[in-house]
Structure 1
Amino acid sequence: MALKRSSSMKTQLVNGIQLQEFEQEEEINTSSSNNTPSEPAEAKAHTEPKYYTVEEAVETIGFGRFHVLLFVIMGSANIVEAMEIMLLAVVSPEIRCEWRLEDWQVALVSTMVFLGFMVFGVLCGYVADKYGRWKVVFGGFIWASYFSLLTSFSPSYGWFIFLRCMVGCGVAATSQGFILKTEFIPAKHRAFLLPLASIFWMLGSMLIIVLGMTVVPSMGWRWMIRFSIIPSIILIGLFLFIPESARFQVSAGNIKGAMSTLDWIARMNGVPLPEGELREPEVTERGNAFTLISPAYRRTSFLLWYTWFVASFIYYGSVLSSSELLEKNLLCVTDADAEHQIKHNHEEALCYCIPFNMADYQTLLISCLGEVALIPLNIALLNVFGRKASMAILLVLCAIFFMLVNICTTMFGFTVLLFLLRSVVSMNFNVVYIYTAEVYPTSVRSIGMGFCTSFSRVGGMIAPFIAQVLMSRSVIWAMSPFAAACVICAIGVVFMPIETRGRALLQHG
């Protein structure tokens, strides 16, 4: 009896355990069936690939060692460009003497350089948008160096102006380096770093003046030109360390190349890339000039073209005017020495050989310092007032200083005035460059810059005839067109529809 009761209790216990296991299995199955719809979504959320744009990559990488390298090498490109342009002011008295040139013939030299720049400006912009920024800039360095060297062997005035025109074509290509540099710099650093490029322009201007002081008196202007291409040759080697723009590579559909470029920059800066994969659509309409006059950009482009015209017109006007005033002693100086009291005017006599003396070179050197002395003010204006307001303020100041050149002052006073004029003119050019690189999308950024620089060279072509030809007739007549152009441009800038301060670089129009 006890054995039967024990067997019955064992059976009930086994059945109870089986029932409990069955219920637990049911709960698991029910829970599993209830969660079935959410689990794939959750898993999908974990496995779905992440993507980022080139703008996000540039901002994530930030500023680091690569950008220092970029800043130094691409800044050195400004040294080369400045030397080629400032060479005109330094060599003008020498070629005037050697080939017995009239004022208009001296002015034509500068005009031919800017003609080459104007013609190739648009072409280089189109090629840069279509085939890459790096190729255009690198080719421009080689082209400009080669023809600059040939210039030093010019047997006649005709050959000289032709070869300088070819140099202008090469300089037009190297100016695309500003686009290449801008496309690698994060938005918050652009207003700080890009104005600092003026330091390199100033160094180039000062270097060519120092060569004029030391080489021209003893060895002549031809050797000065030969020495001036040494920085270009060095730069050709250094430029091999700069990659193609990742923004261009993405727009051209070369995602693999852009990834490789961004990965190299990130490793050089010691930071990781954003999580995920780089993905942006290919831009098939690259280098389309009609985008510049589309409804979205029409007013901006027209006003910007005139702004570039004025920026170049007043910059080279200030450079060539200072050279002409010193060379012919046309400035009104109350404490002039005996040598500077002699006024050289072609209406009275043909004075072909009027070389710079050491004091003239020193005045030019001090005026070059003006291009960097007010960089902190330039940066403050960009960050506080934005690009448009900065241009308007600087243009008004340019107009005032151009008119002040007409007043009689001491030699020290003239040097200070020239210093301030070069400062505000240079700052205005900086802002115009930055605004142009920021306002257009990647698909047309280079051709947009190309059109702008071409219009600027029209200003550069006209400036010599006012600063070097009209100046001999009247200083106030020569200064007034520069001041008037500044005032009109300042009014036009106010009506530009787009402000780019703090804005990301657009990839598509």
Structure 2
Amino acid sequence: TTFGGLLNAQAMSPLTFLVTRGLCGLGIGGSHIGITLFCEFLPTHNRSLYLSTIQFCGALGAVLECCLAWSLHGQSWRWLVRCTAIPAGCSVVFTLFLPWSPRYLLIKGKTAAAAKIYANVAAKNNRADVLPPVFDINVKNMKTDDRALSFTYHLRRLHADPQMRRLTWALCSVWFTVSFAYYGLVFLSATIETGSKQELHLKLLIISLAEFPAYWFAHRIANSKGRRNGMTLVAFLGMVFMAVLTCQNYLHRVVLLPTMFLARCAFATLFALAILYTPEAFPTSMRSTACGLTNAFSRVAGAVTPFISFRLRAVSAMAAGGVYVVILFAGLISTRMLPFDTNGRALRDVVTPTIFQGTQTLK
């Protein structure tokens, strides 16, 4: 991401810009791997709190990006891209402190290394008494070849039975919807008529602040209403706010800005609930593949939505808003097609249980 961002800042033609920006996308597109790894170590209770906290850091980054753009408003866009690429490079240092995925180690046949990670995690959480002083891991019927790491292998497994197939495509639709609406609103916010660029940056910053309460709402709704019902509720609220914004050309600024703030909060909450539900719904053996597939659908939506928020809006703002309302309604229906809720459910690990020899089975 850092390498692509720095090259992107030096782009001298549209083609070079697209290619170097694509390199950034290769890194950003793998952001779900961190959440997948995190889920392997999370307890069932307060799982939504931990995942919402991780997403809160993303909201902080969005607000800091607005502040950075505001501070560099008199400079070239190249400086904004350069400064944005630097934190990604610094984050490489923190990856050195992350533990390896126990499941990955088991697939590669490194059971001793996986056992060491479990012992280390137990010790750091003051639960060293859970594991015996000496133990080994025996995984029955678990594939330990490279096929178990193949994307196509797990992609076929996502369609192995009707429930898994329904879950996969319903979530792909939800991710497409939330990304389409979220980034569409971001682009629509940039079209607000203001007296100066300084005023525009200030309004974008205010709208971006809606990200912070969104993750608190996501945590509260996920535990009180459930993940699936919460997504339905928030999708409905977002659809209502977007319906109001279809008439943005006739709305006073006093009404327009708060409506965009509430819509941004609703879409960010929907995003947070989708990110929370997706890794919980799939077993560890295919969680990364499923998250990558749904993330790909969200990227496609992010690439398509500018044609609606800019091109179609230039023709008719009401027509553009109507498209978002229809897409949100389709996403609302998709949330009701999800086969189950994950609230309070333990994460499924693999099809066959992991047995810790010398102690009781851990779940």
Tell me by how many angstroms 1:493 deviates: 1.6
Tell me by how many angstroms 1:232 deviates: 1.4
Instruction: Indicate if the aligned counterparts of 2:73 and 2:197 stay in contact, CA closer than 8 A.
Output: no
Q: Distance in 2 between matches of 1:149 and 1:379?
A: 36
1:225 maps to what in 2?
81
1:292 maps to what in 2?
158
Instruction: Indicate if the aligned counterparts of 2:119 and 2:131 stay in contact, CA closer than 8 A.
Output: no
Q: Distance in 1 between matches of 2:242 and 2:268?
A: 14
Q: Which has the larger radius of gyration?
A: 1
1:187 counterpart SS class? coil
Tell me by how many angstroms 1:174 deviates: 2.7
Alignment-mate amino acid for residue 152 of structure 1: A
Alignment-mate amino acid for residue 240 of structure 2: I
Match of 2:300 among 454, 458, 461: 458
> Per-residue CA shift, 1:342-361, capped at 9, x if unaligned?
xxxxxxxxxxxxxx611110
2:345 maps to what in 1?
503
Match of 1:272 among 117, 120, 128: 128
Tell me by how many angstroms 1:203 deviates: 1.6
**Cα separation, partners in 2 of 1:282 and 1:163, compared to 1, 3 Å:** farther
Q: Distance in 2 between matches of 1:229 and 1:459?
A: 23
Tell me by how many angstroms 1:473 deviates: 1.3
Given the two structures, how large is their TM-score scaled by the length of structure 2? 0.88
**Cα separation, partners in 2 of 1:382 and 1:252, compared to 1, 3 Å:** farther
After TM superposition, list the pairs within 5 Å mapping 1:441-456 onto structure 2. 441-456=283-298
1:110 maps to what in 2?
none
Q: Distance in 1 between matches of 2:140 and 2:107?
A: 7
| Corresponding residue pairs, total | 338
Q: Distance in 2 between matches of 1:247 and 1:430?
A: 25
Q: Distance in 1 between matches of 2:141 and 2:180?
A: 38
Unaligned runs of 5+ residues in structure 2 are 352-363
Q: Distance in 1 between matches of 2:139 and 2:210?
A: 43
Q: Distance in 1 between matches of 2:275 and 2:104?
A: 19
> Per-residue CA shift, 1:169-220, capped at 9, x if unaligned?
1111233211112222111121112122332122211222222111240x31
Q: Distance in 1 between matches of 2:141 and 2:92?
A: 31
> Per-residue CA shift, 1:206-243, capped at 9, x if unaligned?
222222111240x3111121111221122111221111
2:29 counterpart SS class? helix
Q: Distance in 2 between matches of 1:255 and 1:216?
A: 54
Q: Distance in 1 between matches of 2:53 and 2:326?
A: 29
Alignment-mate amino acid for residue 423 of structure 1: C
Tell me by how many angstroms 1:492 deviates: 2.3
**Cα separation, partners in 2 of 1:273 and 1:172, compared to 1, 3 Å:** farther
Percent identity, please.
26
2:142 maps to what in 1?
283
1:179 maps to what in 2?
36
Q: Which has the larger helix fraction?
A: 1
After TM superposition, list the pairs within 5 Å mapping 1:80-159 onto structure 2. 144-159=1-16
Q: Distance in 1 between matches of 2:67 and 2:262?
A: 21
1:418 maps to what in 2?
260
1:390 corresponds to 2:230: yes
User: What is the root-mean-square deviation in Å for CA atoms of aligned residues?
Assistant: 1.8
1:197 counterpart SS class? helix
Q: Distance in 2 between matches of 1:429 and 1:304?
A: 12
Tell me by how many angstroms 1:452 deviates: 0.9
Instruction: Indicate if the aligned counterparts of 2:238 and 2:266 stay in contact, CA closer than 8 A.
Output: yes
Greater mean deviation of Cα atoms: 377-386 or 250-259: 250-259
Q: Distance in 2 between matches of 1:485 and 1:268?
A: 46
1:213 corresponds to 2:79: no
1:471 corresponds to 2:313: yes
Instruction: Indicate if the aligned counterparts of 1:313 and 1:459 stay in contact, CA closer than 8 A.
Output: yes
2:210 counterpart SS class? helix
Q: Distance in 1 between matches of 2:323 and 2:16?
A: 31
